[in-house]
Chain A
């Protein structure tokens, strides 16, 4: 039967996608330094070791700071750009949109290299600030995509009604635009946060001595005895990432169900 074959294919595909990912949490609870079957017993000692690893915690702090700043800035930039693109008929809107989205299609390694060269040429210190600038480039397109979609479902008359009722542009933005855009804004914040938090290549090139968490993990792979601890860390990041993405989707749908046109 045709549909049965397709079902089988779907399961095989899902297994191919997610089995490797499952290896991470499984071995993070394995009571052995060596990553090999059979499993030798259940332990949480790798997680306990994480809790006392200050270098790791420092890297985590770096990552969080970069991700929060990147999420805030790319969402603000995305919000104003999305509003301009959807509200006004400007010359070259499509071209500008194309250029803003371009970093998504430039290979990360090329982007990382060119940013590194630029930082060197301008003697900009390699630091978390440099990483955040790089992340901004790849996060703004995501923010823009989410926010443009939200703006397009937004009845222009609502902003006109606010002006008609005596509010200037700024108060209209605060009292009408932002509340109605809120689900889009939250989704954009979460999405750009995750993108920045998980990003490795740009951070590896631009972080200098201030390693972010992915860069720190990469560094730890040189020490086999620390590998199970890295697995435990990976399992935590995986769980948190999936949780955030689900949350972002949930918030986005929450907003989508409420009508945005003038009810």
Chain B
């Protein structure tokens, strides 16, 4: 039984379908990401789960309870808004205590609770600070504390790090992950930043134009994307056209044009592909290797990136250069490329 369950969810605004038949299941205590470009429907999906948008059809269940007819202020969810939405007329303490009014805590208990939360987000002693005297990172922490202090069953985060500069974002990622482990609450994060989703989350759902393309753990998503859109969205990928010759229990044999006849593990083939079908053979730049022998090509350009270098290699009989990423530059412009079979992935062409 999953903790958060979304089934067949749809939403359109004035004839435009924004969320199109989305289903997903999130386990208790999981850190889950909705990843996709802007306009893919991820924020609308999050807002439907929070109760700010109505659903056209489909169901939302949290911890076994149907949420569709529950208004936002009665849902067991809390949200960290992209704009943080810190109440400008209240100080930090009152912002965090805002959602505790109905618990009718005695003054001392309230103070203890808010101060414990201030400590969790490392804002000790800043309770008296006015909202407009906070830095971006501090606002983010107040928004997080204000939501967490209510001990929601599900914490929703809408691009929580989007407004921070790059250095701060890195630090907050580490901290967010630590806080999630500490409080043990299920986190559902929306982001367009693939690095953020992959480094923070247990599982990631990749969305495009209102649909979920793939739900998988970060490594799985990176190594075995199930379609071209996912492969493109997460990191860089080389594609070769190929035709399936044979499929066995353990491997797949394809005719891949200039790569010749190659076999790769069956597990790397996307579901639903049959013999004689045209497919895309995909491989990540860092998996393509330089070798003494192999497919002959010529380095068109090289970019030094510090730890690694990035090359574009032109092959005879292929218009698009192959992207290769390695930690040492080959001595000569004329090179040979090898494509390790176990790193090849077979994807549908569309």
Which residues of A line the B interface, CB within 8 A? Answer: 155, 157-158, 160-168, 171-172, 175-176, 179-180, 258-263
Contacts and interface: CB of A to CB of B under 8 A. Distances in A.
A164 B73 contact: yes
Contacts of A175: 98
A160 B132 contact: no
B88 A163 contact: no
Contacts of B79: 160-161, 164
Interface string B55-88: 0000000000000000111100111010111111
A160 B89 CA distance: 16
B88 A180 contact: yes
A166 B132 CA distance: 24
Contact of B81 (A160, A171, A179, A180): A160
B85 A157 contact: yes
8 closest A-B pairs by beta carbon, nearest first, are A165-B99, A262-B85, A157-B85, A161-B85, A263-B131, A163-B73, A163-B72, A263-B88
Categorize the interface residue count of chain B. Answer: 20 to 34
Contacts of B131: 263
Nearest to B84: A262
A72 B71 CA distance: 32
Interface of B: 50-52, 71-74, 77-79, 81, 83-89, 98-99, 101-102, 131-132, 134, 139, 146-147, 150
Contacts of B88: 158, 180, 258-263
Contacts of A162: 87, 98
A42 B176 CA distance: 76
Given A258-B132, A262-B85, 17 more contacts: A160-B72, A161-B81, A161-B146, A162-B98, A163-B52, A163-B73, A164-B77, A165-B147, A166-B74, A166-B99, A172-B73, A180-B88, A259-B88, A259-B132, A262-B87, A262-B88, A263-B131
Query: Which of A162, A164, A258 has the most chain B CB atoms inside 10 A of its CB?
Result: A164
A263 B150 contact: no
B262 to A, nearest CB: 52
